[in-house]
């Protein structure tokens, strides 16, 4: 039993409304973050937006962004957290602290965390459990390297990451998670996006694995997002794929204008106009 108030229930996706979000990585000052959040809030308020929208700012502006978006439908997440609630972990942030800021999501296992900060499948699992314990929705990033794809083990690699991250969870807790397929070779400046067909095939493989672990209901209802060099030019192509439930966007959405452009594309596509 945790020693803080329970968080509000986490909504599940409905129908074909996509999930559209962005992670800011190590970008934005307080003033820049507030301006972005205010512009996003105004856009969402003025638009009949069916998508589930989320942003993942850095720790230094997390509480401020949560404050700016309080009462709006936009979800806010943190980019990382430790699996322990308190302790002598200099420089770390706990899930309890993230929840206290007002955030509702936690990004876990991004390939940059794995490569640069020694994140492992085991620590990803620990963080998933900690996030759930504190009422946060885990956004679990999975993806293979170019070498793993070249050696024919891309699906095995991604399914291993999924199984580790969700190990031991109940079907109900699994339904509180979201998964973002982000092939390592597609991420960052100079990355090449997967084709929509490649993304769809991997999402289908992930969905089969989730079904094996938790049943068909979880496989249908856990959001599976694609991330990796998403732009306004290719976003609609990914959203047309039947297994892709949404997008986790990087640098193309670091400006609010860029994010709003992709949100507009998603809405037009859903309405049958693209």
In a domain, 7, yes or no: no
Is 212 considered catalytic here? Answer: no
Judge whether 79 lies within some domain.
yes
Residue 9 covered by a domain: no
Q: Where are the beta strands (DSSP E) in the chain?
A: 19-23, 52-56, 75-78, 105-108, 137-142, 178-181, 224-226, 246-249
Looking at residue 272, its pLDDT comes to 60
Domain range enclosing 194 = 19-270
- For residue 246, give the CATH number of its domain: 3.20.20.70
pLDDT at site 50: 86
> How remote is the C-alpha of 109 from its chain's centroid?
10
- The string of pLDDT tens digits covering residues 113-163 is 999 999 999 999 999 999 999 999 999 999 999 999 999 999 999 999 999
pTM, to two decimals: 0.92
The count of structural domains within the chain is 1
Active-site pick, 68, 104, 182, 267: 182
In this predicted model, what pLDDT tens digit does every residue of 222-270 receive, in sequence order? 999 999 999 999 999 999 999 999 999 999 999 999 999 999 988 776 6
| Residue 135, token pair as written in the block | 């009422």
Q: Give tens-digit pLDDT for 66-110.
A: 999 999 999 999 999 999 999 999 999 999 999 999 999 999 999
10 part of a folded domain: no
Residue 192 lies in a domain: yes
Compute the chain's Rg from CA coordinates: 17
Q: Which of 82, 110, 125, 203 is catalytic?
A: 110
Q: Which helix (H) or strand (E) holds 264?
A: helix 256-270
246 Rama class: left (phi>0) / alpha (psi -120 to 50) / beta = left
CA distance 274 to 269: 5
Asked if residue 191 belongs to a domain, the reply is yes
β-strands 246-249, 75-78: how paired? unpaired
Residue 147 is assigned to a structural domain of this protein? yes
Residue 171 lies in a domain: yes
182 is catalytic: yes
């Amino acid at each position: 039993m945790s020693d803080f108030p329970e968080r509000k229930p986490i909504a599940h996706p409905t129908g074909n409304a996509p999930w559209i979000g962005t992670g800011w990585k190590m970008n934005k000052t307080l003033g820049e973050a507030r301006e972005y959040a205010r512009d996003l809030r105004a856009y969402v308020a003025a638009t009949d937006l069916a998508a589930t929208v989320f942003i993942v700012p850095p720790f230094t502006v997390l509480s401020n962004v949560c404050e700016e978006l309080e009462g709006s439908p936009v979800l806010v997440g943190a980019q990382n957290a430790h699996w322990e609630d308190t302790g002598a972990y200099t420089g770390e942030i706990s899930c309890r602290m993230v929840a206290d800021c007002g955030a509702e999501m936690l990004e876990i296992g991004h390939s940059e965390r794995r490569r640069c900060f020694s994140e492992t499948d085991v620590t990803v699992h620990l963080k998933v459990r900690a996030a759930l314990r504190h009422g946060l929705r885990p956004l679990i990033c999975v993806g293979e390297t170019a070498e793993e794809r070249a050696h024919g083990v891309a699906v095995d690699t991604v399914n291993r990451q999924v199984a580790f991250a969700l190990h031991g969870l109940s079907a109900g807790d699994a339904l509180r998670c979201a998964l973002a397929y982000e092939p390592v070779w597609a991420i960052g400046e100079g990355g090449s996006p997967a084709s929509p067909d490649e993304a769809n095939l991997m999402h289908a493989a992930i969905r089969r694995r989730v079904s094996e672990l938790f049943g068909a209901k979880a496989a249908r209802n856990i959001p599976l997002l694609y991330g990796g060099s998403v732009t306004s030019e290719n976003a609609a192509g990914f959203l047309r794929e039947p297994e892709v439930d949404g997008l986790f966007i990087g640098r193309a959405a670091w400006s609010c204008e860029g994010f709003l452009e992709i949100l507009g594309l998603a809405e037009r596509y859903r309405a049958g106009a693209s």
